[in-house]
């Protein structure tokens, strides 16, 4: 079977779905690998580096799609790619199913099997395939570096001959995968870190990273299905906002990562809160692409309001393509390793990983 790796089409994307070191791992699964020419160039992987590992380079995308049994990308396919997919191809990428129903239905009509990387269940045996986590962890790390670079202050405490400089104060809102990595990174840089999440279960994880957990007295715990957050009721929301307002006013950097599955991101940082922050402080809103945790952030823009710099990056993993591509490729190979039995792709719908991840198969869609 031929595993085809396509060049990404999203503006600003630098990642590729498999790095050269993934080629030999794919061969161990019994796959041949075909790479669209230039697919790895923005991750600093040349065509030659894939060829040396035994991949074939295709200069014509349509030839690759005509031969490929499995086609893989990071981002959903555009219309041009969809029209070139042959029946029975297995397509694997992030699909943003909520936003791409039309594309998924076209692929279903063409008898393409569509697997969505964001639908991999968050269960222990699927951890090696969990691309949401591997990308969120990169984003959490990079968020702190971007914010720290824009801050006109040191992150660590500095004892100099001219006097002692206190450490920067960082507030992280949302302590899931991205938030925990942001906390760890800010701590490594020596900042004093506080964090808040509506799921009280994360308190211990936050504290084990050396950060203080900001506790809001809530009417009920907001942990919902699958360990994700639920939306808060009005009274808990007000208590939370009051506390965030107080803590944000004392912080040099606020990193927001809060998401609720299937909903617009909750607004945690309002304009009056930004107005009360210290001049020169920085907000980095990692939820800007999902509606924003900060009322003032704009997707993919850096703005200054009330003397506060506000970033709204929507694709931080693309700023670290070398590691992001390697990890994404490993997630893909782990999924393929799970699906390939006796050299053939096998779809066992009794298995939760297969069932949750497949959006459409044999012209029949679930989601």
Q: What residue ranges bind ligand NAD (CB under 6 A)?
A: 122-124, 127, 130, 132-133, 136, 173-179, 196-199, 227-229, 232, 257-261, 266, 268
What minimum distance in Å lies between the beta carbon of 82 and ligand NAD?
28
Active site residues: 122, 127, 130, 133, 228
What six digits make up the tokens of 300?
């993919």
Write the CA distances from 191 to 137, 138, 155, integer angstroms: 19, 19, 5
Residues near 149 by beta carbon (within 8 Å), at least 6 away in sequence: none
Write the CA distances from 157 to 47, 146, 164, 167, 195, integer angstroms: 46, 19, 7, 4, 19
What minimum distance in Å lies between the beta carbon of 354 and ligand NAD?
16
What minimum distance in Å lies between the beta carbon of 200 and ligand NAD?
10
Closest of 354, 347, 359, 357 to residue 105, by C-alpha: 359
Q: Which residue has the CB atom at the shortest distance from ligand NAD?
A: 176
Question: 65 or 286: whose CB is closer to ligand NAD?
Answer: 286
What minimum distance in Å lies between the beta carbon of 31 and ligand NAD?
25
Question: 16 or 115: whose CB is closer to ligand NAD?
Answer: 115
Closest of 78, 85, 70, 83 to residue 31, by C-alpha: 70
Question: 219 or 304: whose CB is closer to ligand NAD?
Answer: 219
Write the CA distances from 37 to 8, 13, 60, 298, 366, integer angstroms: 11, 16, 8, 34, 34
What minimum distance in Å lies between the beta carbon of 226 and ligand NAD?
7
Residues near 276 by beta carbon (within 8 Å), at least 6 away in sequence: 245, 248, 249
Question: 261 or 280: whose CB is closer to ligand NAD?
Answer: 261
Alpha-carbon gap, residue 139 to 28, rounded angstroms? 31
Strands 358-361 and 364-365, bridge-based pairing: antiparallel
Question: 35 or 198: whose CB is closer to ligand NAD?
Answer: 198
């Amino acid at each position: 079977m031929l595993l085809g790796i396509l060049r990404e089409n999203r503006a600003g994307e630098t990642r590729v779905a498999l790095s050269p070191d993934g080629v030999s791992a794919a061969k161990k699964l019994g796959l041949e690998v075909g790479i669209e020419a230039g697919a790895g160039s923005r991750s600093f992987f040349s065509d030659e580096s894939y060829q040396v590992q035994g991949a074939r380079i295709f200069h014509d995308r349509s030839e690759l799609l005509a031969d490929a049994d499995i086609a893989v990308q990071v981002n959903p396919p555009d219309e041009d790619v969809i029209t070139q997919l042959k029946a029975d191809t297995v397509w694997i990428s992030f699909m943003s199913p909520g936003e791409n129903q039309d594309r998924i239905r076209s692929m279903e009509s063409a008898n393409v099997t569509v697997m969505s990387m964001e639908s991999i269940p968050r269960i222990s045996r699927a951890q090696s395939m969990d691309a949401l986590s591997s990308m969120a962890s990169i984003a959490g790390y990079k968020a702190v570096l971007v914010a720290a670079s824009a801050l006109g202050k040191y992150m660590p405490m500095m004892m100099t001959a001219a006097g002692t400089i206190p450490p920067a104060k960082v507030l992280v809102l949302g302590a899931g995968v991205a938030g925990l990595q942001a906390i760890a990174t800010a701590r490594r840089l020596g900042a004093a870190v506080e964090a808040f999440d509506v799921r009280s279960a994360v308190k211990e994880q936050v504290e084990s990273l050396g950060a203080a957990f900001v506790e809001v007295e809530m009417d009920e715990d907001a942990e919902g299905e699958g360990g994700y957050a639920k939306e808060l009721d009005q009274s808990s929301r007000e208590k939370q906002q009051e506390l965030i307002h107080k803590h944000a006013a004392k912080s040099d950097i606020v990193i927001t990562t809060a998401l609720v599955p299937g909903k617009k991101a909750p607004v945690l940082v309002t304009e009056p809160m930004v107005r009360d922050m210290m001049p020169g402080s920085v907000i980095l809103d990692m939820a800007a692409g999902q509606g924003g945790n900060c009322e003032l952030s704009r997707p993919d823009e850096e703005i200054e309001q009330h003397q506060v710099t506000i970033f709204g990056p929507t694709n931080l993993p693309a700023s670290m393509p070398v590691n992001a591509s390697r990890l994404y490729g490993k997630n893909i190979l782990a999924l393929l390793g799970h699906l390939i039995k006796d050299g053939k792709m096998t779809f066992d719908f009794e298995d939760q990983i297969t069932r949750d991840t497949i959006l459409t198969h044999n012209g029949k869609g679930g989601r």
